[in-house]
Chains A and B, each alone.
Chain A
């Protein structure tokens, strides 16, 4: 279908400290015991996209991701991994691999996306309108159950940041205005020309950018070349394209020029007639109406490009792993509401317990739980709505509620873990109590200690 797919797997995100580290880049963070990147790759594989480029930030993580993909997806996908320097941003990453891009349209997917929306839908909308860019937006996920304590406070500050102000036309096909979280504090400035051309605009604050974009290659490469300062697709490239859609500075010498090209070399009046005939027959979007001027003709042709939006159905699941809160939310959802994403078959009790896992007597594993391969649990434990990774050793009388426990974690007797995330190789000594905490890899929690809403990491 003449699409190239680029997965931006990212590197070690600052927002996810202490969960990520040099050994565990963001893209390999386990969500329900599978790296988050697997969700994206599976989604693409389901859509019959077998050929893709994965871009990883940072030299060290490159090898890890490459190894994992080659192990997991051998004979399934044809994946090329490219590594770019750290802190180049999403735009920079694309700039670095620009010479590999040859297809007429590029689908850019963020590696931390967990969703069940078919990328084909976005691509089809993109093709249909012959757009310069098409972005996937979905209803913002309801933030996890508000936990008491300090993390609730943290949520309040973070919430507005995640939200975008998005302006769309009434058919919800075109993107007219976008402001990312930081700018929301200021007044919204909507361009008069766009508003005048389109007539009505719907402003949404409940939409989330899923970081899945379809770009026209020529447009993307041109913008990246001309605007060397652009670092982020979401914050720089997309708003730029949206703002300039009615006074396009892009020389559309790509696919769109094939259509308009006829008009440019207007030596042949037949060709003009032909393109006019086609244009008249199709329902014009406001771009075309604007381009043709107020009275159906204009002295100088105004250049426009289309920015489209695909708003996913509310029934679809879509989330991005871009914060600690999101990490626990996604883990909860993947084994809960959106269980079809996890790729596991759930037992009659609505949980997944690996056959090799050992459970002590009187230990209960509630619904919406997952117990990884080779994990052992002592007696009288109780696990509720939690994910426990591989080869964990959990003593007796341990309570795990609403938590994520990664691989090779040792938990002593009588521990209580609530709403926390515990990275790999962590050791919890006896009677440790954790509440709303994040524990970095390899950390040792001393016996009988109590933590509440803290981020613990090895110095």
Chain B
């Protein structure tokens, strides 16, 4: 528990070394003179030029010699005045607003240098952007103009939750479009600063600040050492993961050697207390499937027999990939032995496994309904307490579902909701009351967060559909489908381009339904995207999740569509319910993704004559990669339509924060 441990916590062996990785210089990372200072609030530049600890600061900023602590100050707002959500603590949440600011800032103020970096230093983003080396035309201004006009439209529909923001944008509305965004960023920064000030006044902000500054200091040092190496982005990601796990330790360490800082002894105690809570609530680090011992352990626990695929792509070894053929028969044979799994949950799991249900909303609803059913059938075993036994039961269901298919972000959020719900039940309720409450609350969640949210999204989005529009969508998103159908019902005349891709060809079902309703459609494969994009006026996309830095995590191929649209100056509108938002920050689609069945891409169903890979499937030189999701950077997203209104991708952290708080107050 001294200085020497500080760097260890950071470069813990759990850091995954993906790509080539230069070990950080410890001596540089340890001393953090800035961190001991109390944050000079006046130091905050109104421009809000803040950087996230997990982002790569643009070289331009570094050369300007900004003191790093200044960059960190917005973090105070979170550590201080926001109630820390139980069970969802994650440093990335704290870091996120500044990330967003970074993006926004770059968008608004200096699109030029950023773009050029995107082109020149393509190595950095190579992993996150499928076309990192894509040269964007310098005249991107019209595009950003479109974006802004979209944003300025949002005030009539914004709900009270983002009231602050909407009033802000109203003010801004009269100003010139390009300037508007800058001033908005400024305003936000100012707001952050005020919050930070408040937090500092309360004096509760010490440890998170210290921790983050340490991480950041370390990160900077790493950066200095290996700047320009292509692995930085990945490294930073894993950084976040490690940070999540190690918060407790890091806090202790920091507190001891920074006795001169704001952390007074009394606070320390409070901090310790919080620490304890945290340790409990810190989410388990994502299972890394290249860690053999852990995989072995997990295998022993597993209900579903999983055979691992032999030829895996090296870069994706940390993700689970199993032979898809072996799971189902095993699960079927054990149908009657799986007594611990409720039939409804079993059915849902089976349907996940076979791909009968897909799509974030549907999977989430199906899971919640299965839980509801299992709760209704639940009876507390003698000698056990409901509030202990039921969560254990639910946990076993969840692990069963995960074995069938990895959870989506939407499901993760819903599970969090169910768990806080159970945890917050008053002990005085009888069993039947508990069941009734849980059931109605789950119904409430489904109705409010999914169904109503979709309705609100549709109402917002319909205003963006005009007569004569050509709308493009990719894959099959339930929200987008509703938007299209509703616009059609309103009598708007528009055409739809459905872009689809192998192997799932989900767009076909959407196509069938839309054509059935009498909407004029064009169906193309994603190969034709660059051709078709020229005639498109709007792109509507669905999302599996929207992350705190505005990144859109969605069906693989979405990034490509968004990027082409961006290059052609077509606004990209992402429709995503707010319950799918996540406080995680992700810059590439490597660290966290799902691997689908590799056979699906090597075989074409019903076309045996072109099955050229059949006999070499086991060849060790052949590695098949079927990614399920990809990540669209917020640069390519003009607007996100959510149930809280139409927001720029930079405002996602606000929603994430508000959403969490609301959940806590209601749960």
Which residues of A are at the interface with B, using a C-beta cutoff of 8 A?
A: 1-3, 47-49, 104, 118-121, 123-125, 127-128, 130, 270, 273-274, 277-278, 280-284, 295-297
- B residues near A (Cβ < 8 Å) are 329, 331-339, 343, 346-347, 350-351, 354-359, 361-363, 365-366, 446-447, 450-452, 454-455, 476, 478, 481, 509, 512-513, 515-517
The answer to whether B446 touches A1, judged by C-beta atoms less than 8 angstroms apart, is no
Beta-carbon contact of A128 and B481 below 8 Å: no
- Residues B516 and A123 in contact, CB atoms below 8 Å apart: no
CB-CB under 8 A from B339, the residues of chain A are 1, 48
A298 to chain B, nearest CB (A): 10
Closest 4 CB pairs of A and B: A296-B516, A120-B335, A281-B362, A121-B332
CA gap between A415 and B366 in the complex, in Å: 69
- List 30 A-B residue pairs with CB atoms under 8 Å apart, sorted by A's residue number: A1-B335, A1-B338, A1-B339, A48-B337, A104-B343, A119-B336, A120-B333, A120-B334, A120-B335, A121-B333, A128-B354, A270-B451, A270-B452, A273-B454, A274-B446, A274-B451, A277-B454, A280-B359, A280-B362, A280-B476, A280-B478, A280-B481, A280-B509, A281-B357, A281-B358, A282-B362, A283-B356, A296-B515, A296-B517, A297-B516
In the bound complex, how far is the Cα of B493 from the Cα of A268, in angstroms? 29
Known A-B contacts A120-B336, A278-B366; A297 and B517 likewise in contact (beta carbons under 8 Å):
yes
For A289, the closest partner residue in chain B by CB is: B512
In the complex the two chains form, what is the Cα distance from A296 to B513 in whole Å?
A: 6
In the complex the two chains form, what is the Cα distance from A49 to B361 in whole Å? 35
Which B residues touch A296, using CB under 8 A? 512-513, 515-517
Contact A124 to B332, CB < 8 A, known contacts A1-B346, A277-B365, A296-B513: yes
Answer whether A277 and B335 are a contact pair too, CB < 8 Å, given A127-B350, A270-B452. no
User: With A128-B350, A283-B356 given, is the CB distance from A270 to B447 under 8 Å?
Assistant: yes
Q: How far is the CA of A128 from the CA of B355 in the complex (A)?
A: 11
In the assembled complex, the Cα of A278 lies from the Cα of B451 at a distance in Å of 11
Q: How far is the CA of A3 from the CA of B347 in the complex (A)?
A: 13
Known contacts A273-B454, A274-B451, A281-B362, A124 near B355 by CB under 8 Å: no
> How many Å lie between the Cα of A119 and that of B336 in the bound state?
9
Chain B residues in 8 Å Cβ range of A273: 451, 454-455
On chain A, the residues within 8 Å of B347 by CB distance are 127-128, 130
Least CB separation from B334: chain A residue: A120
Contact assessment for B331 and A281 in the assembled complex, using a CB-CB cutoff below 8 Å: no
Give the chain A neighbours of B333 by CB distance below 8 A: 47, 118, 120-121
Q: Which one of A104, A119, A274, A284 has the greatest number of beta carbons of chain B within 10 Å?
A: A274
B362 x A283 contact (CB < 8 A): no
Most A CB atoms within 10 A — which of B338, B358, B451?
B451
Which residues of chain A come closer than 8 Å to B455, judged between CB atoms? 273
List of B residues within 8 angstroms of A278 by Cβ: 357, 362, 365-366
- The residues of A that contact B332 with a CB separation of less than 8 Å are 118, 120-121, 124-125
A339 to B306 Cα, complex, angstroms: 28
Return A258 CB to nearest CB of chain B, in Å. 9
Query: Are B346 and A127 within 8 A (Cβ)?
Result: yes
A2 to B343, Cβ gap below 8 A?
A: yes
Q: How far is the CB of B448 from chain A (nearest CB, A)?
A: 10
Closest to B354 in A: A128
12 other contacts beyond A1-B339, A121-B333, A296-B512, with CB at 8 A cut-off?
A2-B343, A48-B337, A124-B331, A127-B335, A127-B350, A128-B351, A277-B365, A280-B362, A281-B359, A282-B351, A282-B358, A283-B356
CB of B475, distance to nearest CB on chain A (Å):
12
Instruction: Kindly state the separation between the CA atoms of A296 and B362 in the bound complex, as whole angstroms.
Output: 19
Residue of A nearest to B347 (CB): A127
The residue from B338, B361, B446 contacting A281, defined by CB atoms under 8 A apart? B361
Chain B nearest CB: distance from A445 CB in Å?
Answer: 46
CB-CB under 8 A from A297, the residues of chain B are 516-517
Q: Decide: A127 near B343, CB < 8 A? Known: A47-B336, A296-B513.
A: yes
Closest beta carbon of chain A to B199's beta carbon, Å = 40
